Structure 1
Amino acid sequence: MVISLSSVLCQVTKSQMVKPGKGGAYNNLELAEVRRGRKRAARLRSDEKVETATLGNPVLHTVLYEEGDVVHVMNAETFEQLELGKDLVAEAARPFLMDGEDISLQSIDGEVAVASLPKSVAVRVAHTDEMSKTATKDAVFKPATLENGLTVMVPQFIQTDSVIDVNPNDGTYVGKSS
């Protein structure tokens, strides 16, 4: 969600509702300023009104390459190329900004405000240990290092060079890619 807080557009990255024993309820928000990328926190009482910004429809793009803090993407339909700051993508999902990966962009007043990756991303396992001989049919997980350098916990049957699906928002194993 994107809101206007003191005339500054901010994307809500985390929200926590708090209802203390005394006093009124409030929301603790973690925000990222859309235009500057700066992070900030806000506490809003439950009776405060906030203006929400209207986002445009998501437009599918493809990641071409990274260059420092900039990601070069291409519109899948018009082939128009854009440069985006990495700060538009959630911090946990940034390692999954690999060449050829799909990314969805939403704009406000012609300016890209939100960039999001799909719910699962196919990634090759660079290294993992062999299946444990003592593994039972219980769900036993082992660490696997992915081609982007992250380590995730995977089931015993996953081997080196397997392609798996990973949730880019929290870095968890989703399933074996088909």
Structure 2
Amino acid sequence: MKITANEIRVGMLLEYKNDLWEVLKTQHVKPGKGGAFAQVEMKSINKNTKLNERFRSSETIEKASVEENKFNYSYDDERNYYFINTKSFEQVEIRKNIVGEKGSMLKENLEVTISFHNDDPIMVQLPNQVSCKIQMTDAALKGQTVSSSYKPATLDNGVKIQVPPFIEIGDEVLIDTRTFEYVKKI
């Protein structure tokens, strides 16, 4: 489906220069002289490279047709993650390099959204927040100001984050899967 440069949004998938690109940033620029354009930063889904492009406002770009389905995480091995469709019980395996660092947040039966392009899985989207247990953290020091003092902590999945001083070992916390940051204590 063709769209104009003004319709490009963050998170969209575009077919451009014989590759599939995810839009990371977009900015509409209207200079004092000349025509308006969209400055777009994109990341290649297949090659994992970045590209900055300028598209004139009147230019059209091909938006990739993507099918999204809900799956539950099942297990992983050395190279792949395995997911099961809860309706059809079909199993899908996805290479670990496609999932990337988000794979450390996967827990058994976690519901994720998998995007398919031409029947190939291209992206796994986790829920925005996942609950994790604090496995290790330092003791809070008395007298520290609460506003800006965070301390390091290790989650039960091995991910290291910063948490407020009142968080202790064994506490259950919500983590933002997009930024790997502490959200709140449960």
Q: TM-score normalised by the shorter chain: which range applies?
A: 0.7 to 0.9
Are residues 1:53 and 2:59 paired? no
1:94 maps to what in 2? 103
1:156 maps to what in 2? 165
Distance 1:153 1:21, change over 3 A: farther
2:184 maps to what in 1? 175
**Aligned AA for 2:167?**
I
Give me the whole-angstrom Cα distance separating, in 2, the residues matched to 1:148 and 1:99: 12
Are residues 1:83 and 2:73 paired? no
Contact 2:134–2:173, Cα closer than 8 Å, also in 1: yes
Q: Calculate the TM-score normalised by the size of structure 1.
A: 0.80
Deviations 1:84-131 (A, max 9, x none): 123333x45232134333211122333323310000011111101223
Listed as ranges, the gaps of 5+ residues in structure 1 are none
Percent identity of equivalent pairs = 23
1:14-53 alignment to 2 at 5 Å? 14-17=24-27, 19=29, 25-33=37-45, 36-47=46-57, 48-53=59-64
1:116 maps to what in 2? 125
Q: Secondary structure at the match of 2:166?
A: coil
**Moved >6 Å (runs of 4+):** 20-23
Give me the whole-angstrom Cα distance separating, in 2, the residues matched to 1:37 and 1:87: 11
2:84 maps to what in 1? 74
Q: Secondary structure at the match of 2:163?
A: strand
Give me the whole-angstrom Cα distance separating, in 2, the residues matched to 1:106 and 1:143: 34
How far the C-alpha of 1:149 sits from its partner, in A, is 2.0
Q: How many residue pairs align between the two structures?
A: 172
Contact 2:21–2:42, Cα closer than 8 Å, also in 1: no
Q: Secondary structure at the match of 2:83?
A: strand
How far the C-alpha of 1:63 sits from its partner, in A, is 1.6
Listed as ranges, the gaps of 5+ residues in structure 2 are 1-11
**Aligned AA for 1:65?**
Y
How far the C-alpha of 1:157 sits from its partner, in A, is 1.8
